[in-house]
Structure 1
Amino acid sequence: MGRQKKNKPRRASLGPLTVRDALQEDIPGICATMPDAYGLMGGAPWRDPDYVAAGLASCAKGLSGREKIKVARLGEAVVGSSFSRLALAPDGATAHTEIGIIHGIAVRPENRRQGAAAALLAECEEYLRREGAHVMIAEVRPDAVAFFSAHGYQTAPGPAFLIPSAAGTYVHPQSVPSTTLMWKSCRAEDAVVAQATAQGTALAGVLGD
């Protein structure tokens, strides 16, 4: 008699995957996922419910409302979260509407490779395109470079991005030496060209026609 194959334990299904804007009820789930973000948003502040609540309040008002915290849910469980916004000038009040920033996308380790990260990224990009963004930029941790590359992002040498916009030149510095600056043109009609300079990577053509 041949050997009997052992059945591998199947991962319990928590329900369908959905992505939506974050609500107050999602704060515990965001606190559990954001410290593992593989964009810019990892770190202690996102473990603090009050910090997350302040972020949700910011998303809901004024110019700073041109930003979104999203959650990915499997059934009723929050398994991932993201934060994206239009680039802001140093005054914190003027938006570079042609430039979208993917600040962070995070998924619980036990729920990865189920489509949550890709769904969150797609929602971030769609939101920013609706707000007028022509190009997306991200500062990416080493273990996420392949993910962003698979979704059309190109790497660029540091130490910064320099991007022209109607609100003036936007400068996005590399905040952590181990991260990789990445970018993606999100409008087929735009001819976005990257050029290395001493100050960083200059992206031309962002304004489009």
Structure 2
Amino acid sequence: MNKTIKLSLFLILAVITLCKQAFAESEILISDSFTSAVKKLGYNAEVVRRLCQPLPDISRIECRHSGDGGPFEQLVVVYGYNDEVTEKDMYHHTNLNEIHVDLKNRNIKFWSGHIIVTPEQVGVTRIKGSSDAYIDNGTNKREFITLLHVERKFERFRETTYHLLNSYEFNYQSNQDDAVEALARYNKVVSDNDYVIAYKEGGVIEPVQIMKGASFTFPMSDQLRQRLIDVVKRK
């Protein structure tokens, strides 16, 4: 069981190029050419310096771009937080949460990955989920947040390993003022419940609840909030 869990975690984390582990301080990974690439996009030196600094509520930060010295498709800062592991007799559930800031394409993605590992002869099925989601910013204004792109994927990765990936993405390149307002008043990403259920020989074992209640909260400290607002404002 332990070998299966470790292998499954290694495979999914290799896909998203992250190391899953909880730290008292942020784990920082910065590519060699990240700083020069950000400056080429017109961001000032102070924003570049602060983007990859540790934050008290963030366990890992990754600053990278997809290319070495040449044109690149993405320039991304990843903030990881609230990693959780639930260990029960019939399943092992790992939850990884991230905020992806793509500086070149000017969008922000709230991302969550769930890895569910079961013993032999125990399966998992997703029994509810929808694409209805929006950013709750405490106002009735929805012009900006309706641009939110939602993507959910549930798949059987290996014989006893299942993945549920959720992402909520909005572009801010042509909606700068609305993006700043949404971030300044950000409360949470709201979505329908989304959960899977484990079973054995046709009998239900226990629900593995992915969404809690009717919302999916991505915590945002004042430091992170100001950092994202400065990026949107291109300061």
Same fold flag (TM > 0.5): no
Q: Which has the higher strand share?
A: 2
Q: TM-score, normalised by structure 1?
A: 0.31
Q: Which has the higher helix share?
A: 1
Q: TM-score, normalised by structure 2?
A: 0.28
